[in-house]
Amino acid sequence: MLHLLTRMVVALTSLIAASGGSVDAALSAIVDAATASTWAERGDSRQIGEPDRPDTTPYGLPVDDGDRAGWSDTHASYPATDVFVGCGAELVSPVWGTVLEVRRVDSYDPAIDNPATRGGRSVAILGYDGVRYYLAHLAEVAADLVPGDEVALGQWLGTMGDTGRASACHLHFSISPPCPGKEWSIRRGVVWPYRYLAAWRRGEQHSPVDEVDAWIAANPNACAEAMADPYAPDS
């Protein structure tokens, strides 16, 4: 019997197509379809998504040339990791999953500094583990990649660049739970990725699921607050 999460991914793909490519509508439909007993145990965490997330996908670095990749264990004022390889480096999916968002247009304007567009060209993936993986500042996004596509571990997503608010070519990589509507402040990262990147480079299958679940439990209203941000519609 397929696990509930696997059924969610299949349903997400179908719902996105049925809703004219709207990830928001598809995610909302999935959240609405979750059983009341499951959500009752987590209260308002139903805003974020299915909390019962199994570790069902292998993990890998989001860059093809992992041996040359470098990163730090610090990042600005929130948890994320900037990965450096070089302009044009090949970027790949770190998991098996489903594409949630694709942004091909770099609409960032430094005069406005809209936080929702700081990522420039970007891709967000819902892993089969239920965790969202966000890759930003891409120079190029794969031409045939659209929301609802299933992607494999190591599948090419695009190339490293400096779009959005970036002073040099790098990959902004973040880990977070998915939200049922548009937002930028959770998508940009809620747990530190560098320790997972280090493990994945060593070939260890260290999953962020438990840490993300702990963050959800500690921040049950996070998605509602993030989606209420005035810049959220621009995400």
41-63 pLDDT, tens digit each: 323 333 344 445 555 789 999 99
Contacts of 209 (CB under 8 A, 6+ apart): 53, 54, 55, 129, 130, 131
The confidence band for 75, taking pLDDT boundaries of 50, 70 and 90, is: confident
Residue with structure tokens 């548009």?
182
* CATH architecture, domain defined by 1-235: Distorted Sandwich (2.70)
Q: In the predicted model, what is the mean pLDDT of residues 137-162?
A: 97
Kindly report, residue by residue over 3-31, the tens digit of the pLDDT: 334 334 334 434 434 444 443 444 444 33
**What 3-state class would DSSP assign to 75?**
coil
Residue with structure tokens 């977070």?
176
Query: What is residue 191's DSSP assignment?
Result: B
Query: What pLDDT was estimated at residue 51?
Result: 42
Supply φ then ψ for residue 144, to 5 degrees: -100, 10
Q: Which helix (H) or strand (E) holds 31?
A: helix 23-33
Dig out the tokens for 136 from the structure. 């930003």
Are 149 and 98 spatial neighbours (Cβ–Cβ below 8 Å)?
yes
Q: In the predicted model, what is the mean pLDDT of residues 90-94?
A: 98
Q: In the predicted model, what is the mean pLDDT of residues 184-198?
A: 97
**What 3-state class would DSSP assign to 78?**
coil
User: Structure pTM?
Assistant: 0.79
Supply φ then ψ for residue 70, to 5 degrees: -130, 150
